[in-house]
Structure 1
Amino acid sequence: MRGEKRYYGKADTLVQIAVYVFLINALCKYFLPNSLTKILPIFAVLLAGVRTASPFVLPIKKIDKPILVFLFVWFFGCLYSPAMSKGMGYVFSFAIAFIFGIYISQKNVDENKVMKFLALGCTILAAFILIQPMAPELVSRVSHLFSYSANEYAYMNAWTRNGWYTGLFPDRAPAAFFCSVLIGVGLYYLYCNYKTAGNKFQRFFGIIFVFVGAYGVLLTVKRGLLIGAGIAAFVTFIVYKKANKAPIWRICLAAIVVVFAIWIVFSNMEVTQVMVARFVDNDNPLTYREVIYGNIFEKIWSSPLIGTGTASAFSLLGIGGHNIYLTVLMENGILGFVVFISVLGYAFFSTVQLALRFGSYEYHQGIPFLLFSLYIQVFFLVYGMSGNPLYDNYILYFYLFAIFIVKNSEYHFEKINLQGKAK
């Protein structure tokens, strides 16, 4: 899968390695010792900082400002939280990823190598999910190489007996997430300009990645992640067509055809019927989340302005909130909630606006990477309604990496325009 020739300079090798280290930490969080998952992101920051002329002066951009404000609000919430140490851990991980994104936002990164890296990593993880129904003992032997608890192995075996699969992971959520990322990688290759790339196999690989990823999500039977991936794919498709100045009627017609084709492929599969049954036949479609949400609303009224403290849900509820919006509202109050929503909204609209600008200036080579960023962002937004992606480092790191893509794309886009005007 050869990549397109980019308009800006050759990628910085050290920065490229820093990106790989950062992504390895997110991909391998469940397979590495806890100490190493704490060291790797710091190491990535140090590698990126070496290539920065003034490492102690961070070049804050517009998109960074609301994120920085939320970081301070999140930190402040730790000071009165009953789970202070846990909250500080989340804040520290967030801050490290945020600083890393700032350091490399104005560097040359080879996006095609990054996407190949993600394609390889997510394909390997998805492969174990796909072979688990046929060779559960093999997957079990490999998973026992990792330091999972007895309870985690018990859950893995129970899910396998029920026809729900996790691959090498101790839970279905990370298994479904990395399959969802593989869908985004496939869309990236489908959105690339093949005439420029001169590689007819890119579309083939893109289709394979999308369908393997979708099948993997179906095998995990994770409804929230399936909906998140589906909506994210739909939004990126609409923006892609709009950036290429397609008429609205063509966009709608193409979207209907794509959805219909996907349904035809998957509808007769047993795994699809199992997933549909979870939507239709389940006596409680919320899987008892309404009890959690009821408890959250009670806690919200106890301290509506500043909340109960960062990460306090785990102490006060005994479980994650399973909705990042309600959880932030409870833990960080109205103030934190407003800032958090502004972060998500500003990043989303900035990404869409930049993709459309790329189309207007016929800078189509930059659109696929931006659309991958948009896919991760929308997935985060939607899955956040039923899951805890803000509190799962591997998902949060991907979200913040998506923000880096926007900043990096905007920086090079403006740089290219200035060079063109100078000529």
Structure 2
Amino acid sequence: MLFEILTTGSMLGVMGASYYYKTNYNNDGDKILKIAENCGLYTKEEKIRLYRRSYNKKSKYTEYVYKIPLGLELEDFTSKYGKFKDGLNNSSVRKIELKEFKNLKLNQNILKQIQNIINNRTQLNKEIEFEYDGMLKIRVYDEGLRKEYPFTEDLFKNLKKWEVPLGVSLQKVINIDFDVASHVLVGGSTDMGKSNVLNLIATVLLHNNPEDIKFTLIDLKGGLEFSNFEHLKQVKNFATDAEEALEALENVKAEMTSIFTMLRSKGFKNVKKANIPTRHFIIIDEAAELASAGETDQEVKKIKIECENIIKDIARRGRASGMKLIYCTQYPTTETVSSQVKRNLLARICLPVDTATASTVVLDEGGAEKLPDVQGRAIYKRFRKVEMQTYLIDDDLINKVIEPHITFKTRGEKSSASLNNEKTSETRSYTTIFKEV
């Protein structure tokens, strides 16, 4: 009896899978035609016509290639993105999982268990992409992005020296190479994953370049986001308010000026040409706190203006001296992200924001306001934008990477990472103090 049940289950699984693909994939091309017609994407003379269809097994998508009528453009279709996506996902389908048959319990309810497996349905979760190269290409992915992709230690491998894997798009892993894209603008609403992105970047850079990296960390949310990194030997400046930020930025500017003097004296145009391996990353979390616009305290306003001027200088001249600016805000406005800074920050990462205006401040175009309300979902843009789910890095891995590089700035001080990894003990230490008389 057991053999018969399993055999029947296997056959039903194959039939279910066949039914699933036959009824839910082969007719997507027809659905697209119907959606286009219902959206008015046609002219008096003609409608869009299917030219070719192909399936990509590796990336798991079907590509439909259409010829579109004269007078229509790509924007006509991308503006209807939501209607196409909802139309292709407007039903649930029968989905039989063969592994469920392994969990069958041999009792009087076995037939009901099998029936539940057979009647299992799942909501479609297809994702689509548009492209135009003389023909309209619409790629329909079997499934969209997951809500979470954990960062694992394997991802440290096979990276270029200053390369960081940011996340996963529908087709590939999205990497940023800081030897190519020197400065980055990061924006996104509160609690959407911006701090995770910063921790991810800092951790990967530290892991792969412990001897060649310096950090200036300006954490204007009380210093909590970068507290794990504060006592690293690679951290040269750490600031938690505007006054400390000015001091840190002045130190960076002095270092930058010194490097320029050295390069000029030796006839080099930049640190790369001079074979200088060190790179200095200036990470500013919540740059809105340094915006001078709207500041009523005149002394504080003066400090913030000086900070803004140095940041503009780093954005403009930092690349040649090995200075890399990562400029972040959860309030993307023209006041918090000046045009002088932005035009030098060519790589952009925008997590979900509430308005098209905020998206435009970061990306120079809308799109991020339409992202799903998922932590870590983002648009990465250097030349063209691509949606991705950023990798999620956990505190245990961060602490594992930073622990060997911690230096205690106060005798007897313990790092948060050390405290987390030690058992509580009732030991007592004594310090002898010598006083000059």
Q: Please indicate the TM-score interval, normalised by the length of the shorter structure.
A: under 0.3
Scaled by the length of structure 2, the TM-score of the pair is 0.24
Q: Which has the higher strand share?
A: 2
Higher RCO by CA contacts (8 Å cutoff, separation 6 or greater): 1
Q: Which has the higher helix share?
A: 1
Larger Rg: 2
